[in-house]
């Protein structure tokens, strides 16, 4: 077993924590290595982790070591089952994204405004899921239904889930989503130039999203 992907996971987790994307014991990250899912443990902050701290599961949820996984492991498994190309998942309670998820109303088809091309290149389309109790089977089922057609999910009153073909891709998506949400709040009340429909169509043609 090559431990490098697990070391990378721990380094990413530590980076999220140090930069304020995760706090306390919130957030969880996983990677798929062949038929095994390695995920951050329950009840521990994302900083200071080593591969020995990570829980190992199979796609059926059976444990392959003695480390208890994050309580959110059911939706990680749901994504991996439904999305063969997904090899990594990032779930964060990052401040601005959670703030968007708590807004009383917005267009669920376009929850964030078209501010930059990078949002469309890395995030869109962003699925909005209704509130479910964290760790619940209902949440996992809803995530599993949305995963095949979306790389990024916004969970009402909760946080974000971003998947990728590798860990770097999942991280890029999570960071871009958080920064777009941050821009959204910074620019509220200002006269803002949005990308035009034609500009968005050009991005769709080039980047095939």
Tokens of 23: 């706090």
For the four alpha carbons of 95, 96, 97 and 98, in that order, the dihedral sign comes to positive
- Provide the CATH number for the domain around residue 127: 3.40.225.10
Which stretches of the chain score pLDDT less than 50? 1-2
Instruction: Name the residue range of residue 176's domain.
Output: 4-207
Q: Per-residue pLDDT tens for 112-140?
A: 999 999 999 999 999 999 999 999 999 99
CB 128 within 8 A of CB 154: yes
What pLDDT does residue 1 have? 38
The number of domains in the chain is 1
pTM of the full predicted structure? 0.95
What pLDDT does residue 97 have? 98
Task: Cite the active site residues.
Answer: 72, 118
């Amino acid at each position: 077993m090559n431990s490098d992907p697990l070391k990378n996971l721990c380094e990413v987790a530590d980076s999220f924590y140090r930069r304020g994307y995760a706090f306390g014991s919130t957030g969880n990250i996983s990677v798929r290595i062949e038929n095994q899912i390695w995920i951050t443990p329950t009840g521990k902050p994302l900083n200071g982790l080593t591969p020995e701290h990570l829980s190992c599961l199979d796609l059926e949820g059976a444990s392959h070591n003695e480390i208890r996984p994050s309580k959110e492991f059911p939706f990680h498994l749901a994504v991996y089952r439904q999305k063969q190309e997904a090899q990594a998942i990032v779930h964060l309670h990052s401040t601005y994204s959670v703030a968007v998820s708590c807004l009383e109303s917005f267009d669920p088809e376009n929850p964030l405004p078209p501010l930059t091309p990078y949002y469309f290149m890395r995030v869109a389309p962003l699925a909005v899921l209704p509130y479910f109790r964290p760790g619940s089977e209902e949440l996992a089922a809803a995530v599993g239904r949305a995963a095949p057609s979306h790389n990024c999910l916004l969970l009402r009153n909760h946080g974000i889930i971003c998947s990728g073909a590798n860990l770097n891709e999942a991280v890029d998506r999570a960071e871009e989503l958080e920064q777009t949400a941050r821009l959204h709040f910074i620019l509220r009340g200002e006269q803002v130039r949005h990308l035009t429909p034609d500009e968005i169509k050009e991005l769709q043609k080039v980047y095939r999203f």
